[in-house]
A and B are shown apart, each in its own frame.
Chain A
Amino acid sequence: MTPEELRRLAESHEEARPEPRHCIKVCVAAGCLSAGSDRVREALQNEIAQRGLENECEVKGVGCLGLCTAGPLMLVEPDGVMYQRVTEEDAPAIVESLGKKSVEQLVCPSDMSFFTKQYKIVLENSGVIDPEKIEDYIARDGYTALARVLEEMTPQEVIDEITRSGLRGRGGAGYPTGLKWSTVAKAGGSRKFVICNADEGDPGAFMDRSVLESDPHRVLEGMAIAAYAVGASQGFLYVRAEYPLAVKRLRTAIRQAERLGLLGNNICGTTFSFHVDIRLGAGAFVCGEETALIASIEGKRGQPRPRPPYPAEYGLWGYPTLINNVETFANVAPIIRNGGDWFASIGTEKSKGTKVFALAGRVRNTGLIEVPMGITLREIIFDIGGGIPDGHRFKAVQTGGPSGGCIPEQYLDMPVDYDSLAKVGSIMGSGGMIVMDETSCMVDVAKFFMDFCVSESCGKCVPCRVGTAQMYHLLNKITSGEATMEDLALLEELCDMVKYTSLCGLGQTAPNPVLSTLQYFREEYIAHIVDKQCPAGVCQMRQ
């Protein structure tokens, strides 16, 4: 399919149905679904049918609108009104209001900073298109990047474009994507693979889930472009089985793309072929680590192996393999469409583009946000997030999940990018962001993440397997008021040892939550140990 044909397809799709005057876009991503948006959608459809307005008004399921805390959300076009916390009972009023005065009490002000401060690339189609319709995606320039790449560009030119964009891996470590692609492209071998890592497992993170549920084709297009660039013909999407909706939509998307010749053999009539299969993760956090993920796809126990050799050289079944995260692939098509320079103009010197964060915890507006790199934490938490609710005070923000750290108030005006976050002892991670106020005990927070690491350690290397269990034991001793200062010294020694001797990223970063809370909130640890008191009143001290 050529770009021309794609355009025609999109247009014919527009013409095929009489443009209804109104369109109600109901969010059907996980957050709003769990708040009952499917029932609201049905109620709206019934209401419209009863009034015989089927040709006047369309109800459409769309992806994430972002402000998950106010779900179920919906957008009424062309009025441009957003409604929040909609229930089935609101359906008549909403249908009645179409084209007239909006339903006052349900309106979600779309001029609030939650929306205006965001910059959407990855999420540009989220909440706009129906994730189960490829035509919707194509109508928004979908697959034009792939068609252009196949028609006009050499693989090297694609890699150059990605390199020029300055895109870095969005899975957490921030490895330059262009460099990774060119390494795989240069690697010899009769076969190569492209893997999309959708084994999102950080507690409180749902960026990848949302992208997959709201705009699955974007990820497929990115993977196909990557496959063309590195010379792969087979791809795998490794998705956690806990994301059934994402899996279902991906399956639909793959089928649709194959039917239109955008995936499969001879894509767009060229000699380039690329097949994508889905592999389900069985719920092990460590399978997000690339070598463990590869082992899992191979049907082995999901355990990491020492690197080097890196997967780029020795990956799936020993062949050169490109592994990128969902959000990384989601950035590819826009970069090709708009050029690497355009992408590089967004963000900071070393961190380009935007980043999606799952904003959660003690903040007014929780949900999914996409912001340009370099925005400050203060802007994210206080402007977009709307600040701390119930008159409480900000205490710390946890970024990067169990591999990350807690950042205290003094760094709120620091720009958010890979290097600044690393400098203060945290990491960008995949984009989980948990805000805490003074009702959170930092020792308890560290213990929570250590508990997570204990149960998610694969058990292969000694420091991670036993070290995390010992650290958890010590943290537990501290929170129950039974620890001594010697225990704290031992905890710090273990942190150091586990960090530098563990085999994979899970163990190497497992001490980070402890180290960063010790760095900024050491007095809380001391209070637990010496005064036998939990300043936040969270921990139950044994008397």
Chain B
Amino acid sequence: MNQPVRVKTLKIDDRDVSGREDETILEVARQNGIFIPTLCHLEGLTPIGACRLCLVEIKGVSRLLPACVTRVEEGMEVYTQSERLQKYRRMVLELLFSERNHICSVCVVNGHCELQSMAQILGMTHVSVPYRFPRLPVDASHERFVVDHNRCILCTRCVRVCDEIEGAHTWDVMGRGIDSRVITDLNQPWGESETCTSCGKCVNVCPTGALFEKGKPVSDRQKKRQFLPYLTMMREERR
């Protein structure tokens, strides 16, 4: 017997909306055409609440909560666009741009980059914190793919898709804090990885130019993510 699904009614930006009790604020907002920015979130992957772009204000709650992991509750009053939130979101982006070497004009995904378009959507015209300009490697040892750490924003979509969808767990993160880096296997060159199945899912979920396929023109670097909801659906059914 299936348990009856409870439905919660709440307000997002003063609009009355409703969602299933197991849905997140982000899911309900998107169903209702309310835009909440995200970078680390990708439908089909476990949400981790790491990029902090989707933080929202909830009436009566002193903390800001990430919409991607916060479940809807009855009577909740959610605000997604306050001036304070917009300022914080812009600062998150500025911090990301300052962290590594994001030089859009010479990037392989210029024009198809989620970080770049997020900057435009959120009205960020420059970075007010100093750029750090770290010296980071590019690993082109794989026959088809390249990882350029200069463009990585550590959203760990690649880590999650590889673990949760492909089941290979080739990707992980090493180091901590500002020195964190995504790695293949135990920090071996990608080309020498024995676990990588070369499926290319990581490349297609990567929001920036950190992961890309060799030998393609920049104009053809649109990431293809249709496989994700499809695969997730297939697995749910098998369960």
Q: What residues of B have a CB within 8 angstroms of the CB of A493 in the complex? A: 91
B19 lies within 8 A of chain A by Cβ: no
A459 and B49 contacting across the interface, CB-CB below 8 Å: no
Min distance, Cβ B194 to any Cβ of chain A, angstroms = 21
B64 and A469 contacting across the interface, CB-CB below 8 Å: no
Q: Mark A462-479, 1 if CB is under 8 A from B, else 0.
A: 111111111001000000
Knowing A284-B176, A457-B176, A470-B95, the reply to whether A465 touches B64 (Cβ < 8 A) is no
| Residue among B52, B63, B70, B173 making CB contact with A459, cutoff 8 Å | B173
C-alpha spacing A537/B85, complex, angstroms = 40
Min distance, Cβ B69 to any Cβ of chain A, angstroms = 5
A21 lies within 8 A of chain B by Cβ: no
Q: Mark B54-77, 1 if CB is under 8 A from A, else 0.
A: 010000000111100110000000
C-alpha spacing A323/B184, complex, angstroms = 34
Knowing A459-B154, A465-B178, the reply to whether A501 touches B99 (Cβ < 8 A) is no
C-alpha spacing A41/B238, complex, angstroms = 68
Q: What residues of A have a CB within 8 angstroms of the CB of B87 in the complex? A: 497
B52 and A465 contacting across the interface, CB-CB below 8 Å: no
Q: What residues of B have a CB within 8 angstroms of the CB of A468 in the complex? A: 177-178
A301 lies within 8 A of chain B by Cβ: yes
Q: What residues of B have a CB within 8 angstroms of the CB of A270 in the complex? A: none
Min distance, Cβ A396 to any Cβ of chain B, angstroms = 27
Min distance, Cβ B86 to any Cβ of chain A, angstroms = 12
How many residues from A make CB contacts under 8 Å with B? Answer: 32
Q: What residues of A have a CB within 8 angstroms of the CB of B51 in the complex? A: 461-462
| Residue among A284, A466, A490, A503 making CB contact with B178, cutoff 8 Å | A466
A469 and B49 contacting across the interface, CB-CB below 8 Å: no
User: Nearest chain-A residue to B49 (Cβ)?
Assistant: A306
User: Nearest chain-B residue to A487 (Cβ)?
Assistant: B130
Q: Mark A439-477, 1 if CB is under 8 A from B, else 0.
A: 000000000000000111111111111111110010000
A462 and B176 contacting across the interface, CB-CB below 8 Å: no
Interface size band for B: 20 to 34
A424 lies within 8 A of chain B by Cβ: no
A467 and B88 contacting across the interface, CB-CB below 8 Å: no
Knowing A306-B69, A455-B177, the reply to whether A467 touches B50 (Cβ < 8 A) is no
B210 lies within 8 A of chain A by Cβ: no
B128 and A459 contacting across the interface, CB-CB below 8 Å: no
B217 lies within 8 A of chain A by Cβ: no
| Residue among B66, B88, B96, B180 making CB contact with A500, cutoff 8 Å | B88
A164 lies within 8 A of chain B by Cβ: no
C-alpha spacing A301/B96, complex, angstroms = 22
User: Nearest chain-B residue to A500 (Cβ)?
Assistant: B64
Q: Mark A496-515, 1 if CB is under 8 A from B, else 0.
A: 01001111000000000000
A305 lies within 8 A of chain B by Cβ: yes
C-alpha spacing A467/B88, complex, angstroms = 12
Q: What residues of B have a CB within 8 angstroms of the CB of A346 in the complex? A: none
| Residue among B70, B92, B175, B178 making CB contact with A469, cutoff 8 Å | B178
A465 and B91 contacting across the interface, CB-CB below 8 Å: no
Q: What residues of A have a CB within 8 angstroms of the CB of B92 in the complex? A: 462-463, 497, 501
B98 lies within 8 A of chain A by Cβ: yes
Q: Quick one: which of A313-363 are within 8 Å of B by CB?
A: none
B180 and A465 contacting across the interface, CB-CB below 8 Å: yes
A108 lies within 8 A of chain B by Cβ: no
B52 and A503 contacting across the interface, CB-CB below 8 Å: yes
B95 and A463 contacting across the interface, CB-CB below 8 Å: yes
B residues with a Cβ closer than 8 A to A are 48-52, 55, 63-66, 69-70, 87-88, 91-92, 95-96, 98-99, 128-130, 132, 153-154, 172-173, 175-180
- Inter-chain pairs besides A458-B180, A500-B88, 14 sampled, C-beta below 8 Å: A306-B48, A306-B49, A306-B66, A454-B178, A455-B177, A456-B177, A460-B50, A465-B99, A465-B154, A490-B129, A500-B63, A501-B55, A501-B91, A501-B92
3 smallest A-B Cβ distances: which pairs?
A459-B180, A457-B177, A466-B95
Residue pairs across A and B with Cβ atoms less than 8 A apart, 14 shown, are: A305-B48, A306-B49, A308-B70, A461-B52, A462-B50, A463-B91, A464-B177, A465-B180, A470-B130, A473-B132, A490-B129, A494-B91, A501-B64, A503-B49
A residues with a Cβ closer than 8 A to B are 284, 286, 301, 305-306, 308, 454-470, 473, 490, 493-494, 497, 500-503
